Chains A and B, each alone.
Chain A
C-alpha cells in the first residue's frame, strides 16, 4: 500500500473510532450498540489486507481508549488480538469469501470482544481492585445484528463497485474471472 493509502486508513480509523466513542455512545438503544471499528477492520481482512486491518484496529482502539470514560478497557490490545484471531480463522477455517463468511467473522469478533471484556473485568478486579461493567446480553446481540448488517452492506457495496468477490464462471471449458 502507498503512503497515501496508509494515511487514509489511519484517518478513517480515527474518525470511525471517534464516531464510535463520541457519537454512537450518546444515542439511545439500539443505536448506541453500533460499534463500527471491529467490523470495518474485519472488512480489511476479507480484502486481504491484514496489516491494514491491524493498523485500523490499533488506531481505532487507541482512539476508543482515549475518549472512553472511566477505567480503560485496553481496546487497542483487544482489537489487535481479535484481528489476529480473525486472520487465523480466515486462513485456516473460513477460506472462501462471501457475505456469510463476513457475517460469521464479525459474530466471532463480537463474541471474542465480549469474552475479552469479561476476562479484562475479572483481571482488573483481581489485580487493581477496579470494577467496570461488562457488555449486557441484550447489547451483545444488538451489536451482533449491527455488525452483520453493516458488513453485509459494505460487502455488497464493495462487490458492486469493484471486481472483488466475483465468483468464477465456467465459460468455454475454462474458468473466467
Chain B
C-alpha cells in the first residue's frame, strides 16, 4: 500500500475546501438536498433506535409509571405499617381498659405485664412476661386478660421475668366451677393445641354445651369467678361416675399482649 502524494494532496485539498464551504454555509443547499433524500432512511434508523432503547431501558412512559407504582407501593407499605401499629395500639387500649374496669369492679390488686416471649411449640402453651419477683409476682398467681378472663398461672419466677403456664398447656391443672355456682365442680386440664378438658365433674352436676367455666377459688392465689372457657362438647354416659367435657379457653395465646397478674393480698382472708 502506498499513499501517493497526489491522493494525499487531493484529500487535504478536499478537506480544506469542504471546511471552507461548510463554514461559509455554501454547502447548505447541497446538505439540505442530501438531508431530504436520506431523511426517510434516517427516520427508519431512528425508529429502530427508539424501539431498541425502549427495549433496553424501558420507554419514558413505562419508567414514569414504574416510578409512580414504586412510590405508591412505598406509600401503601407505610400506611399498612401505620394501620398495623394503630390496630395494635387500639387493641392494647381496649385490653388495658378492660383490665382497669375489672380492677375497678373487683378491687383486686394487680401488676400489669407485657408478654415478651411465646412458646413456639403448639403443645406447650407457655409465655414469658416482663414482671418477676422484684415486682411482687409469686408462683401460682393468676394471670388474667380483659374483663377477668383467666390466662393461666405463674409457674416459674425470676427477678424480672416470670413464666406463665396457660390453661391449655398439658401440665396445667385448675379447680373449676360453673358460672355462678361458685363451688368446686371439676378439674380443667390442658390438652395442648389451645384446648383443655374439664374432668371429674360429678354426675349430679348439670353440664351443657356453651356453659361458662370459671375458677372455683379454692386455690390459694387464684380468686373465684375468673372465666376459664366455654364448654364445647360434653362426654360420658349416665352410668359413668364422672362427666367430662372439652373446654375452649377464652384467652388465646397468640392474641395475648398485655396481661395482669393478680396479687393475692386482695382476696386472702384478713388475719384476725
A and B associate in one complex:
yes
Interface pair B46/A76, CB less than 8 Å apart: no
Q: A90 to B8, alpha carbons, bound, how many Å?
A: 15
With a cutoff of 8 Å between Cβ atoms, the chain B residues found around residue A31 in the complex are 52, 56
Query: B49 near A74 (CB under 8 angstroms)?
Result: no
Question: How far is A25 from B57 in the complex, measured between Cα atoms in Å?
Answer: 14
Smallest beta-carbon distance B4→chain A, Å:
9
Chain A residues, CB < 8 A from B34: 62, 66
Given contacts A54-B7, A67-B35, A80-B14, contact A24 B1 (CB under 8 A): no
Q: Are A48 and B1 neighbours in the complex by a CB distance under 8 Å? A: yes
A176: B residues at CB distance < 8 A: none
How distant is the Cα of A14 from the Cα of B35 in the complex, in angstroms?
12
Flag if A77 contacts B57 (CB, 8 Å).
no
Categorize the interface residue count of chain A: 35 or more
Chain B residue nearest in CB terms to A81 = B15
**Interface contact B38-A66, CB-CB below 8 Å:** yes
Q: Counting CB contacts under 8 A, is A112 at the interface?
A: no
A84 touches B11 (CB 8 A): yes
Q: Is the interface of A mostly helix, strand, loop or mixed?
A: helix
Contact B3–A50 (Cβ < 8 Å): yes
Given contact pairs A28-B56, A80-B11, A74 touches B22 in the complex (Cβ within 8 A)? yes
Q: Are A28 and B57 in contact (CB under 8 A)?
A: yes
Q: Is the CB of A90 within 8 A of B1?
A: yes
* Inter-subunit contact B42/A67 (CB<8 Å): yes
- B116 contacts the other chain (Cβ, under 8 Å)? no
Task: Determine whether B66 belongs to the interface, using a CB cutoff of 8 Å to chain A.
Answer: no
Which B residues lie within 8 Å of A87 (CB)?
Answer: 1, 3
A106 to B49, CA, bound (A): 25
> Interface size class for chain B?
20 to 34
**Which residues of chain B are near A90, meaning CB under 8 Å?**
1
Whether the pair A76, B18 counts as a contact (CB closer than 8 A) is: yes
Question: Do residues A45 and B1 form an inter-chain contact, with CB atoms below 8 A?
Answer: yes
Known contacts: A28-B57, A66-B34. The answer to whether A19 contacts B15 by CB under 8 A is: no
A1-30 interface with B by 8 A CB criterion = 14-15, 18-19, 21-28
B41 at the interface (CB under 8 A from A): yes
Please determine whether B53 and A88 come into contact, CB atoms closer than 8 angstroms: no
- Which single member of B19, B22, B38, B56 contacts A27 (CB below 8 Å)? B56
| Bound CA–CA A45/B3 (angstroms) | 11
Contact code string B76-111 (vs A, CB < 8 Å = 1, else 0): 000000000000000000000000000000000000
| A36 in contact (CB, < 8 A) | no
Q: At the interface, yes or no: B62 with Cβ under 8 Å from chain A? A: no
User: Is B38 within 8 A of A18, CB to CB?
Assistant: yes
Query: Which residues on the A side are within 8 Å of B8 (C-beta)?
Result: 84
Chain B residues with CB under 8 Å of A15's CB are 41
Q: Which of B46, B50, B56 has the most CB of A within 10 A?
A: B46
Whether A22 and B7, one on each chain, are in contact in the complex, defined by CB atoms closer than 8 angstroms, is: no
> In the complex, what distance in Å separates the CA atom of A19 from the CA atom of B222?
89
A19 cross-chain contacts in B, Cβ below 8 A: 45
Q: Is B200 engaged at the interface, CB distance under 8 Å to the other chain?
A: no
B219 at the interface (CB under 8 A from A): no
Shortest beta-carbon distance, B230 to chain A, in Å? 67
User: B31 near A: Cβ within 8 Å?
Assistant: yes
Q: Say yes or no for B48: interface residue by CB 8 A criterion.
A: yes
Smallest Cβ distance from B22 to chain A, in angstroms?
6
A26 to B43, CA, bound (A): 12
Q: Among the listed A26, A48, A63, A74, which residue makes an inter-chain contact with B50, where contact means beta carbons less than 8 Å apart?
A: A26
Query: Distance in Å from the Cβ of B12 to the closest Cβ of chain A?
Result: 8
For the complex, give the distance between the alpha carbons of A22 and B41 in Å: 9
Q: Does A58 sit within 8 A of B, measured CB to CB?
A: yes
Q: Which residues of B contact A (CB under 8 A)?
A: 1-3, 7-8, 11-12, 14-15, 18-19, 22, 31, 34-35, 38, 41-43, 45-46, 48-50, 52-53, 56-57
7 closest A-B pairs by CB: A26-B49, A22-B45, A23-B49, A23-B45, A77-B15, A22-B42, A87-B3
Could you list 15 examples of A-B contacts with CB < 8 Å? A18-B41, A22-B42, A23-B45, A24-B49, A27-B52, A27-B56, A50-B3, A51-B7, A58-B14, A62-B34, A67-B42, A77-B15, A77-B19, A81-B11, A91-B1
